Structure 1
Amino acid sequence: MRSILICDDEPIIRMSLKNKLTELGFDEILECGDGEQAVRMALAKLPDVIILDVSMPKKDGIAAARQIRQSLTVPIILLTACYDADTVARARECGIGGFLAKPFREQDLWPAIELACAHAEAVELLKEQIEDLKEALENRKIVEKAKGILMQKQGLTEPEAFRKMQKLAMDKRKSMRRIAEAILLAEA
């Protein structure tokens, strides 16, 4: 089931979007007319995609997007009649996945959604890779410290210290990091 939230203060635009989104296969189409409502609905319903008008009452689309992006990684598309440099810069800063110009053309809707979803997936993949790299680097630092302790305390060469840690890890069925942490803890 694919769901989408559309938020525009003009009911005619919402209706037009809703009709096209139904044709595109969205099962659940949530709609509202102001930015504050958009934030509440997004956080409560967790839609797969969000389309926000830039100019709305109570909270503009970019401010709503920024607030939504603090909790969700959902792709967000802005629907706007204004493409000034400030609007584009603000949109870029909060991770907007695309723009649809008003009045929107039906043939532009599907590509905008697909590209925004692909962009969101790519960003999430990069974030995961960054976290994996951070963890690998942290593991490496801990292993290097423990290896240094073994070299100093037991007079081992670097390859000998590393092999000793490897053997301990295999014998005890623990990760190299766990073994390194145990060595560091014993030293403390």
Structure 2
Amino acid sequence: MLRIMIVDQDPARSAVLEQALTDAGHRVVARTVDEGSLLQIVTDAQPDVVIIDMEAPGRDTLEDLREVSRDNPKPIIMFSNNRDGEYIRQAVQAGVSAYVVDGLSKERILPIVDVAIARFREFQALRRELADTKVQLADRKIVDKAKGILIQRKGLTEEQAYALLRKTAMNRGLRIADVARTLLSLEGMEG
């Protein structure tokens, strides 16, 4: 069962959408006609998915979606009549997982929700992988600088310098990069 939030300026249309979702075993936890303060509503309701159905969403909507994607990321599905390619590109950059132009029908909603969730999860995994890679690269640079200091100050080979960092890290229950940062800090060369 998914917890779903609906943003729709047309109460009759959102009622049909809510009924289709409820019939499929999902729960609508928030329903609003105003896209303003989306972040607060998402934060309060904690939906699994946000569905936005608007005739012509504006630039303010995109900014609200950027805030949600930054501060409380969720799969976001947008149904709109806006066919402008630049707007669609900006919507995707703002965090929209699925942008559907041809209108909303009860039969199409569940497959679209499934695809949006899968796309969102894949994007989040890539985002985590990128963040991990950046940390690893930064750590590697720090370790290389620390090895350079040990080579210069103690006359060690690169392998000996690395072994010393590793042994110190193991003895203190720290990561090698943390030991390297400490060494750079002591040398006044923080990474």
TM-score between both structures, scaled by the size of structure 2: 0.85
Residue 149 of structure 1: aligned partner: 149
Tell me the CA shift for residue 37 of structure 1. Answer: 5.8
SS at match of 1:5: strand
Residue 136 of structure 1: aligned partner: 136
Looking at structure 2, the residues matched to 93 and 159 of structure 1 have their Cα atoms a distance apart, in angstroms, of 45
Long gaps (5+) in structure 1: none
Looking at structure 1, the residues matched to 150 and 58 of structure 2 have their Cα atoms a distance apart, in angstroms, of 63
Looking at structure 2, the residues matched to 121 and 54 of structure 1 have their Cα atoms a distance apart, in angstroms, of 24
1:68 aligns with 2:76: no
Cα 1:175–1:40 shift into 2, 3 Å: closer
Whether the 8 Å contact between 2:49 and 2:75 is mirrored in structure 1 is yes
| Percentage of matched positions with identical amino acids | 28
Long gaps (5+) in structure 2: none
Aligned residues: 188
1:8 aligns with 2:8: yes
Looking at structure 1, the residues matched to 157 and 39 of structure 2 have their Cα atoms a distance apart, in angstroms, of 59
Tell me the CA shift for residue 124 of structure 1. Answer: 1.3
Letter in 1 for 2:87: T
Residue 21 of structure 1: aligned partner: 21
Tell me the CA shift for residue 154 of structure 1. Answer: 1.1
Tell me the CA shift for residue 98 of structure 1. Answer: 1.0
SS at match of 1:74: coil
Looking at structure 1, the residues matched to 166 and 120 of structure 2 have their Cα atoms a distance apart, in angstroms, of 39
Matches within 5 A, 1:1-188: 2-36=2-36, 38-55=38-55, 61-101=61-101, 103-188=103-188
Looking at structure 1, the residues matched to 64 and 155 of structure 2 have their Cα atoms a distance apart, in angstroms, of 61
Cα 1:55–1:68 shift into 2, 3 Å: farther
Tell me the CA shift for residue 185 of structure 1. Answer: 3.2
Tell me the CA shift for residue 161 of structure 1. Answer: 1.3
Once the two structures are superposed, what CA deviation does each residue of 1:143-182 show, in whole Å capped at 9, x if it has no partner? 1111111111111111111112222222333221222123
TM-score between both structures, scaled by the size of structure 1: 0.86
Letter in 1 for 2:132: D
Alpha-carbon RMSD = 2.4
Cα 1:46–1:159 shift into 2, 3 Å: same
Letter in 1 for 2:112: A
